[in-house]
Amino acid sequence: MKTIKRIFVLILLTILPAVAVVAVEIGAEIVYFENPAGDMNLIQLDGSSMTPDFGVVLPVGTRIDTGSGILELRLVPNGTILKLDSGTDFQIKSIQDEEGAEETVFSLIRGKLRTLAARHGRGEKYTVETPSAICAVRGTEFINEVGENGSAVIVRYGSVYVESIAGDRWITLGANQGLNTRSANYRPIIIPIKEIESMFAGFAFLGTDPTLVPGAPSAGAGEPTGSASGDIGRPVTEAVAREREYEPKSYDERGAFGRWIADSLGGEIGTTTIEGDTYSKLILSPVFETGSLRTALYLPIIYVDLYDGSTWYQPRGNNEWSFGIDQSGWQDIMTDVWTDLWLKIRYIEYGDAEWDPFYFKVGNLNTMSLGHGALVYQFANDFDFPAVRRVGFNMGYEKTLGIEVVADDLTRPNLVGLRLSASPFQSYQAFEFGISGVADLRPAAEAPDPGYYGDPWFLAGSLDVDLFEINSGFFKAVVFADGSAMAPVYRSDADSVDFPNVSAGPAWDMLWKDGRPTNFGLRGGLRGVLGPIRYGAEYRYWNGVFQPSMFNSLYGRKKVEIVDGITEYLDAGLVGADSMGIFGELYWDILDDDRLSIGGAYHWPWTVSGSTIGLENDDYLKLELNIGSKLIRAYGIHGGFKMERNKVRDTISHPDTYSWMDAYTVITGEVVFPLNPLFSLAIIGGTATRYDENGDVVWANAEETIPKVTPVLNIETRINY
């Protein structure tokens, strides 16, 4: 009998803890609330409402709108405490280990949230999702705030990993740091200890003792690890970050002027090879940042003899330091002053094209697009930098109605484009349609005789639509479709011998011939994110001499050849063949913190004529490799490489005709060797169009349609003050 009793007691002792755990109501307990206007709403997953009261446990899935009140919660049985400010829209999406959940997930749609995460040492995982970022909590205490102009994360203790919704930008915030998740450079700001303590004290927990949260910093823990002094809101620049890797305290020990010097000034000294000639160079590159506005100047002296101005390099034959004194006539003087001033701008940027409702960029740019890129896709005006510098312009505004503008060079405008868009359905803003117009005002300007081709304009237009989007966190996709067409307008008759049938005026008959549309393009596909991978895939169908995404990074070197081909096509009066193609791109961030990423794209075209299918020769390949400074931490060596190439198959099969280093290739790359916190040695290579001493293109073929390119090699010492 005693044995049976002992067994019964043992069974009770075994199952009582499990029963106790089961008896605990898992959720978020209300430990404090204020609801003066009675407008706080607590809605469960089934749509039923709950009344706020002390001790009420909100189940997983509950959505909270605090209205004019405030609310404090404690996760049961976890112990994490949360504070929700007035005007907050919040949801408890999951609690770790509840119904197999692998992590605790909150959704902050609007408002302000303070979190003190419990740490029991059992691998707790916390995530806060906002409209612009996903925050993975690796520490303990932080504040999230979401408003109309974006969202912010402020960390008091521990660290928070922040990743953009698109998955293309991420950063880890340490203690005493903050981030605006819509910032263009995605860099943290350092917040002085007094300021951050004031922020948290002004949003204090009222219904619970933070020191009782498991794993919370103890009272009197003092200054958070990793904190630093400085002006609130001051951006952490690359120079500052590099300095801290070598000497963690040196930056903070400087005065205000010393910190401004470190943040704002940079320079280069060394040599550069341009058009086969070697020059020395001395370049000052100050950078100024004020909120979302960023400006960088480019003040170069590229010379053979520093004291002989006639030996200084003159881009496209222009003495950029003359400011009109080498010109005559007020119009030429003002034009030269305008050009020389703009050439001193490396870039001016405000906002971010992906995240901000308004943005603009001015300067040397390489990622200008309109819509999905049916006409303008990653157009680059810096393919000859620094041998030739152009001042591009890219601006956009998007709400219910949107506008985008691109221009290749404000000093000598040729390519200009405009897109207008609208999202007509408030309840489904993923649906958007747009209309674009693009013009190249003088595509034959660099030809030896533009009048030979009738000195045409290129006019192109497109209609595009975002059909729907998928956003499941790990997988994101936008499905789209485009239709576009292009026709030239000739200022004069083309050469009467070679092009007798090409007359002045618009060539609208190029768009319709023999009872069918011609020289148009159709596209459909999707783009998005799959974990650390950004991808795009699309099907293309086009006719005649129209080229999908014609205004791209290679267009600047090919446009005279394009003019020649279109004029010859019109003169012959043909109906072009139908073509199809598959375009795909993939970019993989293999290691986080920008340590290692690779990417590439390929366009595979083929022609269709009746029942015959043939391969086209104008395929396209793009390859990218980027190595961050943290990959090889001991040395900090970093750099990148990018190559874009048309006619890849022809180059492989006809090496006697094509070269990998001709005008169909754009190559840029650099390797940077940090020498110490102040100096880095950089080796930069690439290709550039060759110009003669008068600023005219040097041609590689007898028809004078393909420019000659020349390698450009820079060896420079970069100065980070």
The reported pLDDT for the residue numbered 274 is: 66
Instruction: Kindly report the number of other CB atoms within 10 A of residue 52's CB atom.
Output: 18
Neighbour-count burial for 70-102, b at 16+ CB within 10 Å, e otherwise: bbbbbbbebbbbbbbbbebbbbbbbbbeeeeee
Q: Is residue 655 part of a domain?
A: no
3-state SS, residue 340: helix
**Pairing of β 358-363 and β 392-398:** antiparallel
The reported pLDDT for the residue numbered 720 is: 61
Q: Is residue 130 part of a domain?
A: yes
CATH number of the domain enclosing 40: 2.60.120.1440
Q: Is residue 108 part of a domain?
A: yes
What is the spatial distance between Cα 321 and Cα 59, in angstroms, rounded to a whole number? 70
What is the spatial distance between Cα 283 and Cα 667, in angstroms, rounded to a whole number? 23
Q: Is residue 67 part of a domain?
A: yes
**Pairing of β 104-116 and β 126-129:** parallel
The reported pLDDT for the residue numbered 1 is: 47
Nearest 5°: CA angle at 84, between 78 and 87? 155
**Pairing of β 665-674 and β 432-440:** unpaired
The boundaries of the domain holding residue 193 are 27-236
Report whether 648 contacts 617 (CB < 8 A). Answer: no
**Pairing of β 160-164 and β 170-173:** antiparallel
Residues contacting residue 568 through CB under 8 Å, at least 6 positions apart: 499
Under DSSP, the state recorded for 551 is B
> In 183-262, at which residue ranges do the beta strands (DSSP E only) sit?
189-190, 234-235
Nearest 5°: CA angle at 650, between 645 and 654? 125
Instruction: Kindly report whether the peptide bond that precedes residue 517 is cis, defined as omega within 30 degrees of 0.
Output: no
What is the spatial distance between Cα 96 and Cα 125, in angstroms, rounded to a whole number? 7
Q: Is residue 113 part of a domain?
A: yes
The reported pLDDT for the residue numbered 243 is: 35
The reported pLDDT for the residue numbered 139 is: 65
The reported pLDDT for the residue numbered 11 is: 40
Q: What residue type is 148 in one-letter code?
A: E
Instruction: Kindly report the number of other CB atoms within 10 A of residue 190's CB atom.
Output: 24
What is the spatial distance between Cα 25 and Cα 76, in angstroms, rounded to a whole number? 7
* Number of helical H runs and strand E runs in the chain: 7, 44
For the CA atoms of 242, 248, 251, 254, the dihedral, rounded to the nearest 10 degrees, stands at -160
Low-confidence ranges of the chain (pLDDT < 50): 1-23, 219-255
**Pairing of β 177-180 and β 189-190:** antiparallel
Q: Is residue 85 part of a domain?
A: yes
Q: Is residue 314 part of a domain?
A: no
- Distances in whole angstroms, Cα of residue 170 to Cα of each of 134, 243, 244, 382, 546: 9, 21, 20, 27, 39
Under DSSP, the state recorded for 605 is E
The reported pLDDT for the residue numbered 573 is: 84
Q: 238-246 and 256-264 are packed helices; what angle lies between their axes, rounded to 10 degrees?
A: 110
Residues contacting residue 530 through CB under 8 Å, at least 6 positions apart: 474, 475, 476
Write phi, then psi, for 572 (nearest 5 degrees).
-80, -20
Bridge partners for 568 per DSSP: none
**Pairing of β 126-129 and β 133-137:** antiparallel
The reported pLDDT for the residue numbered 429 is: 65
Q: Is residue 22 part of a domain?
A: no
Residues contacting residue 303 through CB under 8 Å, at least 6 positions apart: 279, 280, 281, 282, 311, 312, 313
The reported pLDDT for the residue numbered 21 is: 39
Bridge partners for 521 per DSSP: 484, 542
Bridge partners for 150 per DSSP: 147
The answer to whether the Cα torsion of 670, 297, 290, 197 is positive or negative is positive
Task: Tell me the HSE value of 624 on the side-chain side, using a 13 A CA sphere.
Answer: 15
For the chain, the domain total comes to 1
Instruction: Kindly report whether the peptide bond that precedes residue 315 is cis, defined as omega within 30 degrees of 0.
Output: no
What is the spatial distance between Cα 243 and Cα 316, in angstroms, rounded to a whole number? 38
